Amino acid sequence: MEPQKSIIREFLTTGWIVALLGAGIMLVRLLTDDKKTSIFFQVKRVVVSACGTSFAWYIFEQTDINSFYKAITYGVVGLTTPEIVNGVVKLGKKFERSPEDFIKR
């Protein structure tokens, strides 16, 4: 990315496609899953995947890495972001219940 370009302008020209890629990958994953889930749950996971992929785009846009590796990373991030967010939320809830026990470990 060139220094004189704004990151927001860059996102509006190319980054939103990456967010759609992450959302699309999660949508395909949900459609091929046998579990019965609510529409709210599915929409939430798709939005989280799009946000996670956008964050990955923000990080990798500033690096000089081969585009092929970036694309693979965006796909993996889109698939795994909801599980990562769920894990962080569970950790936060455990810490909220008993911070002393969490720190002792």
Q: Cα separation of 22 and 24, whole Å?
A: 5
pLDDT digits (tens, 9 = 90+) for 32-66: 888 888 889 889 989 999 999 988 888 888 888 88
Mean pLDDT of 87-93: 90
Residue 16 or residue 49, greater confidence:
49
Q: Is the pLDDT of residue 85 over 60?
A: yes
pLDDT score at 105: 61
For the chain, counts of helices (H) and of strands (E)? 5, 0
Using the structure block, give the residue that is written with the tokens 């046998």.
34
